[in-house]
Amino acid sequence: MKRSTTAFVAAVSVVGFVTAACGGAGSDGAAPAAKTVTITQVQGVTEFPVGPTRIVAAGYSIDNLLALGIKPAAVIEGQVPLPAPWHGNRLDGVPIIKMPDKRTVPVEEVAKYRPDLFVGDNQVVSTNYDRLAPVSKVLGGIDKDGSKAAWDVQLEALGQILGKQTEASKVIADDKANVAAVRQRNPGLDGRTAVVAQYIAASSNFNLVAQANDPTNRFFAELGMSLPKGIRENPAFSANTTIQGGRAPVSLEQLPTISANFMAIYPNGAGEADLQRLPGCAGLPQVVNGTTLVSDLHTIVSMNQPTSLSRAWILQKIEPMLAKVATQPVVA
């Protein structure tokens, strides 16, 4: 059962605000440093002691800690092998706790590190919150602008909890500047379209990121791009996001409608040649024009669960293809 504050949070529409707990003024008239901060997150209103030192992290929260210069006490490895390419050597020496399945955090293993903070993405925390809460303070997703998966909103909260607000603000500002620089170098991206998808060979269907406010699509929006009209205005895609972790399912019959200027696709259980043989795939403009990135798991995750670290990494990887996209007519 979630904390009793969950009902209150839902009633007032959680917006992800962060407030510091304040004491009286010191003898010199200055307010003393806050000892706790109060975070409104998806799981409720939680008071966190400032300055935790033993932190276990999962999902995009690993990147948020590393971006702040914090080495976790341990990290959780789910479907995506760790370390990721954008981690470099930042996780050297950090113990990796493997999840036994796609959903379950092994809480007994987490407890061995005596964490004073567990931080993870909304999906991991929502599934495991009741089991983690007796072991540690827990920070998960923060609901803002219709999304519970925004890395930067959680990073701001972590800045408060860790006493690193200035550092968190700089990470976010540097990230925005990096994306803006790519857009400035490629002004032709404005008005072009992008889609991120996965082909699941076992079920012979696709899923794609169909919500404009998802961090994946907001990333491309910052580059001046948008979802193609065939997704944006088709309720079969845009209104059906309850399957595949918020991703809209696409049958093979619908594939020819997924036209875009750019596509990144992960062939789960298949290869690029298998994609080419699918009915309608070879005729898609993004395939014909050579602006489809057939991705491995890490590459697609860098866009599916973007962070400051993964965004910098993937932009360097795809900018040559984006430059090609910028010279093409709009595929609406």
CA-wise closest residue to 118 among 103, 102, 105: 105
What phi and psi, each to the nearest 5 degrees, are found at residue 246? 90, 5
Q: Would you state the pLDDT for residue 199?
A: 94
State pLDDT tens for residues 255-289. 888 999 999 999 999 999 999 899 999 999 999 99
Q: Would you state the pLDDT for residue 35?
A: 93
Q: Residue 276 is inside which H or E element, if any?
A: helix 272-276
Instruction: Tell me how far apart the alpha carbons of residues 208 and 194 are, in angstroms, rounded to a whole number.
Output: 11
Q: Would you state the pLDDT for residue 23?
A: 37
Instruction: Tell me how far apart the alpha carbons of residues 263 and 293 are, in angstroms, rounded to a whole number.
Output: 6
User: What's the first-to-final CA gap in the chain, in angstroms?
Assistant: 45
Tell whether the model's pLDDT for residue 25 goes beyond 60: no
Map residue 194 onto helix, strand or coil: strand
Q: Would you state the pLDDT for residue 202?
A: 92
- Sketch out the chain's domains with CATH numbers: 50-163 (3.40.50.1980), 178-325 (3.40.50.1980)
Q: Nearest 10 degrees: CA dihedral of 141, 143, 144, 145?
A: 120
Average pLDDT over residues 60-71: 97
Q: CB count, 10 Å around CB of 203?
A: 12
Pairing of strands 36-41, 18-20: antiparallel
Instruction: Tell me how far apart the alpha carbons of residues 257 and 218 are, in angstroms, rounded to a whole number.
Output: 22
Contacts of 80 (CB under 8 A, 6+ apart): 297, 298, 301
Asked whether 167 and 68 are in contact (CB, 8 A), the reply is yes
Instruction: Tell me how far apart the alpha carbons of residues 253 and 50 are, in angstroms, rounded to a whole number.
Output: 53
Pairing of strands 194-200, 138-139: unpaired
Structure tokens at 275: 């994609």
Tell whether the model's pLDDT for residue 16 goes beyond 70: no
State pLDDT tens for residues 118-166. 999 999 999 999 999 999 999 999 988 778 888 999 999 999 999 999 9
* CB-facing half-sphere around the CA of 278: CA atoms within 13 A: 22
Tell which wins on pLDDT, 3 or 207.
Answer: 207
Tell which wins on pLDDT, 323 or 79.
Answer: 323
> Mean pLDDT over all residues of the chain?
88
Average pLDDT over residues 44-51: 96
Tell whether the model's pLDDT for residue 39 goes beyond 70: yes
Q: What letter represents residue 188's amino acid?
A: G
